[in-house]
Amino acid sequence: MSTTEVVAHEVDKIPVEITVNGTVYRREVEPRLLLVQFIREDLRLTGTHIGCDTTYCGACTILLDGEPVKSCTMLAVQADGSDVQTVESLEKDGELHPLQTAFSENHGLQCGYCTPGMLMSSVALLAKNPNPSDKDIRKGIQGNLCRCTGYHNIFKSIEAAAAAMREE
């Protein structure tokens, strides 16, 4: 006789309160729920992408209390009480963020899969360093992979956005 033993630990859901793009969300979540899944599946904010799902590509990059993190390698329960910013926060009242405009004007994207992560890493970079050198820009997106552009137009886009933002 064969029996299939289902090993499922009885796990209690954990209450969390996470602010995403300015809105406070209160939910009960399974402890193993990844932050990226909370964002995409629970909140239906699908701008944050899952690329590698193994902490390499950076497509899932969001800002957690202002710091860039890979949301595929964080539990939703770890974000309890935190402030999360996703790519959806960039456009305001139908106006693109200067980084989005610059990516569009400088061909900073092709398929667009890496773009949300590239944008969030760039937001973090420009918040700390409004006038980044070439090297600073390269370091700023060191944790984000792009399989299409060859990066040069991404560097150009970030440079153009930085210049536009300094003029604002």
Partner 1 sequence: MYPAPFRYHRAGSVAEAIRMLGDIGEGARALAGGQSLLVLLKVRFDEPTDLVDLARIPDLDTIDQGNGEIRIGALTTHASIARSELSTAIPIVGDCANGIADNQVRSRGTIGGNVCSGDPSCDWPTLLATLDAQVHCEGPDGKRAVPVTEFVEDLYATVLGQGEIVTGISFPTPAVGSAGAYVGFKRCAPAYPTSSVGLQLALNGDDCEDVRIALGSSGLTSIHATDAEAELRGKTLTDDVIAKAAEAAAAQAEPIEDQRGSEDFKRSLIDTLVKRGVGVARRRCAGETVEVSHEYY
Contact residues for ligand FES (CB under 6 A)? Answer: 50-53, 55-60, 70, 72, 109-114, 146-149
Beta-carbon contacts of residue 35 (< 8 Å; ≥ 6 apart): 62, 71, 72, 74, 75, 76, 78, 79, 84
Q: Nearest 5°: phi and psi at 92?
A: -125, 125
| Binding pattern for the stretch 33-72 against ligand FAD, x by CB under 6 A and - elsewhere | ----------------------xx----------------
Strand-strand pairing, 14-20 and 83-85: parallel
Query: Does residue 36 belong to the site contacting partner 1 (CB under 8 A)?
Result: no
Which positions from 77 through 106 interact with partner 1, judged by CB under 8 A?
A: 77-78
Partners of 122 in beta bridges: none
Separation of CA 29 from chain center: 20
Query: Does residue 61 belong to the site contacting partner 1 (CB under 8 A)?
Result: yes
Q: Which is nearer to partner 1, 8 or 24 (CB)?
A: 8
Q: Which is nearer to ligand FES, 29 or 57 (CB)?
A: 57
CB of 55 to ligand FAD, least distance (A): 4
Look up residue 23 and give its two tokens.
């809105």
